[in-house]
Structure 1
Amino acid sequence: MDDVWSTKVWDDLKMFFPNNNNGSRIMLTTRESSVAISLGSYKPYVIGFLNEEKSWNLFCEKAFAQEDCPYPELEENGKNIVKSCNGLPLAIVVVGGLLGKSNMTREYWEFVAENVNAFSQFKR
């Protein structure tokens, strides 16, 4: 189960997952540590944000299908765009994927870099 915000979701669904003592487990993700703890998680695994280097590498893989930027004139704006994603992998993948299919000009990427926060607020 992905992105569980309250215990009510689990309360509504748990009857469909009987404990048959066969060793099965259910994995869920949540942004709320209180939800994880109240659902019986002993040691929740906390996933951090990507650092600047990993963010840039992921962006390049999505935008250019390689680890580095093949267009030196786009790199500065690309890094500014990635910085606006605040280390959030989904935001980086979406923006990188869209830009990979876009106009590969410095002017266009500069426009995106200046306006990326206007159309989506990538907050941690």
Structure 2
Amino acid sequence: MNQFFKAVLIAFFCAFFPQQAPAAPEVTPLEVTKMKPESPAKLPLGEKFTVSIRYHNPGPNPVQVFARPYTKGASTRGYGAHPCEPRGKGRGKVEGWFVFDAKAKVDEIVITMVDSKTKQVSATLKVPVDLTWE
């Protein structure tokens, strides 16, 4: 087969059967890597529930990552929780926690990543759980 014919065939296949580069994997801005204790759990009053979170901040501004307890779609009342130091651009890990001193039932953890300068929520992750403080 001569060079001209090869070039024509290659041009034909490239024109009608273009190859696409594989899509880049989607970056998940928030991911739970560990919960302590694991759900379902019954905790004594005053014991912390801890959640380890991996985050990705693609923006230029620092962010804060909050893990908060919810019950039936609303913020659970009466909890104490971790402080939220601003985190820079890129990937990182943060450990969040919350605790109750009175009886409580939590069915969801809502994790939010908030731009520290604009106060806009840049990502939210809802994690179903079954946690009871008694």
> TM-score, structure 2 length as denominator?
0.23
Please identify the structure whose Cα radius of gyration is greater: 2
Structure (1/2) with the larger strand percentage? 2
> TM-score, structure 1 length as denominator?
0.25
